[in-house]
Structure 1
Amino acid sequence: MDIKDVIDGAMGPFPDNCAGYMNPPATGPGYIAALKLSVGTVEADMDEGLEGIVSYDRAECEDAYIGQINMLTASSFCGLNGAVWGYDLARHDDLAADDVTARWTLERHDGVPVPIRSIAPLLDAGYRLFGTRDQRRFNPLPGAMVVCANKSRTVNPQKSTTVWAGLAIAIAEDRTSCANLFIEDAADTEASGEKALLDLQQNIARSILRCGQDQGVKYKEIFIGHKALQISSGTVGCSLACVPYVTLPPAAIPTGAAPADLSGMSLGEWEAALRLDPLPPYPDAALI
C-alpha cells in the first residue's frame, strides 16, 4: 500500500481522541504506530498485586500519555497497512536530513552495514501526538481497546536495583512486501546483572538482524534506546516499552488538509498548522 493510502485509511471515529486499531468504524484498514518508553514507581505499602497495578499505571501516564486504556498485547510488526508516527508522517524535524547521525553500524546477513540511530526523535514524536497527563493532545480515548506491541517489568527489590526497558524499530528496505519490526525488552539488574544492561542495545540490534535473516527481510536502519531507573527496597518499579497501534481523530488533521498530507509535513509544521500549545520538552533524562 502507498503510505498516503495507509494514512487516509487510518482515521478513527472520535473527534478529538485517537482510537485503537480495529475499533469500528474507521476510514479504512490503515493504522498509525506511535512509540513510548516509560518508567513508573510506587511505594511498597499495599500488596504485590496492587503495587504492580499502580506502578504500571504510572508508567502509562508518564511522558506520552496513554492512561485509562485497555491494552491488548500484539506481536511486534508495523505492516504494509501501517505507518510510523514521526517517521512516515509528521516526520520529526531531527530526522529531516538524509544524513542523520548513526550511533554505530552492524552488518546484516548480506554484508550491508545497517546504521543504528537514537530512538529519541520517535519517542518525542509520540509524546507530541498524545500529549501529557496534564496537557493532553490526541491521547487514546479513555477506556478504548488499544492493540499495542509491549513488554514490561515490575520489580519489588530486596536491595537497590535498576529496572529497565528497551525499545527498537527496524525499518524495512522494501516496504511494499515487508513489515517494520519492533523489539521490546524489559528486566531488572537484580535478575539479569549489570552486564546485560550495558550490552542491552547492541544485543537488541543483533536480535533484529537475526530475525531479518530468518525472515529474508533486509532492514535499512534501526532506531534504538532504553530507559533505566534505580530503585531501592520499599519501592516498586515498572518499566514499559510500548507501541500503541491507533487511528487518528479528525482534530489531528489541519484545516484544509487531507490526512495523507501529513506524509509531507514535519512534526513542527504539523504542530504549527494546528496551533497547538507547546509541550514541556520530552523528559528524556532516563533515556540512554
Structure 2
Amino acid sequence: MSIYPERTSHDLHLKHVVNNAVGPFPANCAGYMNPPAAGWGYIAALKLSIGTVAADMDTGLDGIVSYDRAECEDAYIGQINMLTASSFCGVNGAVWGYDLARHDDLAAGLVKPLMMLPRHDGVEIPVMPMAPLLDAAYRLFGSRNQRRFPPLPGSMVVCANKSRTINPERETTVWCALAIAIAQDRLTTANLFIEDSSDTETTGEAPLVDIDRNIARSILLCGADQGVAYQQIFIGHKALKIKKGTVGCALACVPYVTLPHDAIPRNMHPEVLVDLTLSQWEQALDLDPMAPYPGNYRG
C-alpha cells in the first residue's frame, strides 16, 4: 500500500499527513520513527536558541552544559537524544505553525516580506521573517518552566541541526541561523531547511551583515540544482555577545516529531489541526497562556 494519498487538494494531503503523525504517548511528542507511532507522517518544529555557562570546568564539560542550556532555552527540547538528519521536510511531513495550528499572524496576513528574490525561473518569491514559526514551536513544546508537549525525556529525536560552541579569547558574537523554503508542489517535492552557525572570532563580522539574503540565495541555488520551485522562504537568526570566561553555544534545530494524544482536541481527528489557527488550537485544549516568546532574535 502506498504511503502517498490520492492527488486531490493540498489541504487533503496535509490532513493525511497529520492523521498519520500521532505518537503513542499521551502528553509528550515522540521522535519520528519511534515505535509504535500511528502512521508514516511527521511534524517539523523550528527552534533557534543560545545557551551560556561560565568557563570554569573544562572544555568538554563547559561545551556540554552550554549545549544543554541551548536545548532548554525558548522552545523546550531538553533531555533528548538528538540524532542528526539532513535538512528536508518531505512529502510525508508538515510544518507546525504553518501547515497546522497556523500562526495567527500568518493566517491574518500580518507578516510582511523582508525582501523579494528571483528563483531560477525568474519568478520573484517572498523572504519572510521566521518569528511566527519560532513562536509556534515554543507554544507547542512549552518552555523550561512551563512545559506543554515536549519530546519524551530520553527519547531518540531526529533533528535537522547545526550548532557552534565558542570559548572566546575576547568578546565575540556567537550566532545561529535557520531558514525553511516552502515547496510549491508539496505532493512531489520537499521543503528545504538551511541551518548555519558560527562566531565572529572565527569569521569576522561580515557573515552577519547580510545573513538573511545570503541564506536565501543559498536556498535558491539549491532549488536550481534540484529543479525545485520554492514559493516562500522563512528566515531568522539569533546572535549573542560572549565575553572571555564564558562558553556560548548557538543552536539551529528542527525536531521531527509525532504529536501526543493530548495535543489533539477531544473527540476530534488530528486532521482538524490543519483548519485551526495556533490560538484556536490553544483554546480548544484550554491551555494556560504562555509568557511571550523570548527576545534576542531577528526574523
Q: Which of the five TM-score ranges fits, normalised by the shorter chain? A: over 0.9
Residue identity matched to 1:104: M
Per the TM alignment, residue 101 of structure 1 is displaced from its structure 2 partner at its CA by: 1.1
* Equivalence for 1:65: 76
Per the TM alignment, residue 160 of structure 1 is displaced from its structure 2 partner at its CA by: 0.4
Distance 2:49 2:293 in 1: 12
Per the TM alignment, residue 195 of structure 1 is displaced from its structure 2 partner at its CA by: 1.2
Q: Give the conservation status (yes or no) of the 8 Å contact 1:229–1:286.
A: no
Q: Give the conservation status (yes or no) of the 8 Å contact 2:273–2:281.
A: yes
* Equivalence for 1:131: 142
RMSD: 0.9
* Equivalence for 1:221: 232
Query: What secondary structure is seen at the aligned counterpart in 2 of 1:243?
Result: strand
Distance 2:296 2:157 in 1: 27
Distance 1:286 1:4 in 2: 32
TM superposition outliers: structure 1 runs of 4+ over 4 Å:
none
Per the TM alignment, residue 97 of structure 1 is displaced from its structure 2 partner at its CA by: 3.3
Distance 1:72 1:13 in 2: 20
* Equivalence for 2:241: 230
Per the TM alignment, residue 93 of structure 1 is displaced from its structure 2 partner at its CA by: 0.2
Distance 1:113 1:250 in 2: 40
* Equivalence for 1:41: 52
Q: Deviations over 1:192-218 (max 9, x none)?
A: 110111121111100000000000000
- Where do 5+ consecutive residues of structure 2 fail to align? 6-12
* Equivalence for 1:141: 152
* Equivalence for 1:196: 207
* TM-score under structure 2 length normalisation: 0.95
Residue identity matched to 2:254: V
* TM-score under structure 1 length normalisation: 0.99
Distance 1:139 1:216 in 2: 36
The answer as to 2:106 corresponding to 1:106 is: no
Alpha carbons of structure 1 residues 200 and 279: separation in structure 2 relative to 1, 3 Å: same
Distance 2:17 2:171 in 1: 46
Distance 2:181 2:199 in 1: 24
The answer as to 2:107 corresponding to 1:96 is: yes
Per the TM alignment, residue 99 of structure 1 is displaced from its structure 2 partner at its CA by: 7.1
Per the TM alignment, residue 233 of structure 1 is displaced from its structure 2 partner at its CA by: 0.3
Q: Which moved more, 1:96-105 or 1:123-132?
A: 96-105
Distance 1:284 1:252 in 2: 26
- Where do 5+ consecutive residues of structure 1 fail to align? none
Per the TM alignment, residue 256 of structure 1 is displaced from its structure 2 partner at its CA by: 1.9
How many percent identity over aligned positions?
Answer: 70
